[in-house]
Amino acid sequence: MLRFPANSTSTTVGTQVAQNSGGSAAVAGLYVTPSLDIYFSSHQEHVVYKTPAGSTANATVVAGTINSAGSLFKQLSSPRGIFVDSSNNLFVAEFNGRRIMRFPAG
């Protein structure tokens, strides 16, 4: 995932701000908190990743189990939408699972 400054053009070079552990799965959803933590979902891997503000290291899985779609409370099925509330609870909308999951902060 790359960040581009405001007023970028087609020749502007981006700065890497996040990458999933495998590096190849497509990003389906993105949420940036007011403190600049980055959350993104991989619908192919059935997980949500987090990269803390300022980090360029591989992101860590904060919801779901890599490559394990399912309906258990610890699993996700094609996560898309992401939201983090002011208490840092993570909400994930699933495409295939047809549900919205809440993962408590911590």
Specify the residue for token string 């996700």. Answer: 76
Query: Residue 23 carries which DSSP code?
Result: S
Per-residue pLDDT of 74-92, as tens digits, reads 899 999 999 999 999 999 9
Confidence of residue 19 (pLDDT cuts 50, 70, 90): low
- Would you state the pLDDT for residue 28? 86
Q: Which of 12, 9, 46, 40 is nearest to 27 (CA)?
A: 40
Q: How confident is the model at residue 35 (pLDDT cuts 50, 70, 90)?
A: very high
> In a 3-state reduction of DSSP, which class is residue 26?
coil
